[in-house]
Amino acid sequence: MQPLRGVTVVALEQAVAAPYASRQLADLGARVIKVERPGTGDFARAYDTRARGLSSHFVWVNRNKESLTLDIKDPRGGEVLRRLIAGADVFLQNLAPGAAARAGLGAEELRARHPELIVCDISGYGALGPYADRKAYDLMVQAESGLLSVTGTPEDMAKVGISVSDIAAGMYAYSSILAALLERGRTGRGTHLDVSMLEATVEWMGFPLYYALDGAEPPPRAGAAHATIHPYGPFTAGDGKVVMMAIQNEREWRGFCETFLERPELADHPDYATNAGRNAHRETLGAIVAARFAELTSTAAIDLLAAVPVASARVNTLDEVWAHPQLAARGRLHEVPTPVGPVPALAPPGPTDEAPRMEAVPAPGEHTRAVLGELGLSAEAVEALVADGVV
């Protein structure tokens, strides 16, 4: 399924948020021309070398794209970019605050020239307000959004182990661009999208925000356990392996007492009959549940939980995720070419195509000459730009 074939996206992007958004568009068939710095390219290329010599972040968010290196501060580079944008459907950027506008690439200026263009700006805090000019990285936004205040153990806060604020902003940019394309199909006009990492992350904070409404106590930091539902979290089985399990309602609680704990009398115990009670007495109830897990192997525990049925899961290592039998059974594991050879890649969630788009992660500037040729530049003009370090 590639419904975005024929849509061209020019992405002046770096790091994670904008590249993640444009990769979703590319996965659905859009042509994404990624504009990078001459020489070094997107600085995320140098984050690490863990993906067989390439950056793990970069390989993750940059498949299915073309790479054009361009110095947009040079007037000749700026002109190339403007010509590219003139033929694009979407312009996406996440430069430092104010940098796009200073380069003549602000949304108002671009849309005055190209009313049909969809302009999507991704930033830490948005184009307006007292934080508009602040630099923002994922951890800073996790802090500002309150996410850190509810993540970790009672003793120590902890950052989420992935770039969750970048991902949130990237996904809202992606879905907003899809909506803008639909709207343009009806009206013929583009729009300006101003996506902030802060607002994207705060949207995902809805549960704790409402839980602590009007000055109420926030949900406590509970490590890997659920902060307000119990039992819901990790328990160690007798073989030393950790099993995650979750009770969601009173029907499950009763079945859990009868089948797993083999103590049916606990189902109606006044301390444990409701989730509020179980949560208030989680220390004593947790000791009962932990003692039962210690009597069982992890496999036996999971089998018993499935018989209730109660949700459970193993705590997989990353190697085990790559080899996950459910991903394999659903045909989600593929390969994508890179400058150092093929690497494994996951098909995008949703579409069930047997052959999803899995084109290469580009080398820096790999498509520069081809793209410039499409713009009508002669071979001599292109080589002059190369010689001058403009591309």
Cross-strand bridge partners of residue 91:
10, 119
**Sign, Cα dihedral of 13, 15, 21, 26:** positive
Q: Tally DSSP H helices, then E strands, for the chain.
A: 17, 11
Residues 42, 15 contacting (CB under 8 angstroms): yes
Region 37-65: what's the mean pLDDT?
97
User: What average pLDDT is seen over the chain?
Assistant: 96
Catalytic annotation present for 166: yes
Instruction: Kindly tell me if the per-residue pLDDT of 351 is higher than 80.
Output: yes
Tell whether domain 232-315 is in CATH 1.10.287.610.
no
Q: Where in the chain is the domain with CATH 3.40.50.10540?
A: 8-204+327-387
Mean pLDDT of 181-186: 97
Identify the DSSP state of 153.
Answer: -
For the segment 32-51, the average pLDDT, to the nearest whole number, is 96
Residue 130, preceding peptide bond in cis (omega within 30° of 0): no
Is pLDDT of 224 > 90? yes
Distance CA 328, CA 253 (A): 33
In this prediction, residue 29 has a pLDDT band, given cuts at 50, 70 and 90, of very high
Mean pLDDT of 107-116: 96
Q: How many CB atoms lie within 10 A of CB 56?
A: 14
Q: Which of 27, 166, 319, 353 is catalytic?
A: 166
> CA 261 to CA 103: how far, in whole Å?
66
In this prediction, residue 182 carries a pLDDT of 98
Ranges in the chain annotated CATH 3.30.1540.10:
232-315
CATH of 8-204+327-387, one of 3.30.70.20, 3.40.50.10540, 3.40.50.300, 3.30.200.20: 3.40.50.10540
Instruction: Check whether 58 has a pLDDT greater than 80.
Output: yes
Mean pLDDT of all residues in 213-242: 95
Task: Note the pLDDT of residue 250.
Answer: 95
Residue range 237-254: mean pLDDT, rounded: 96
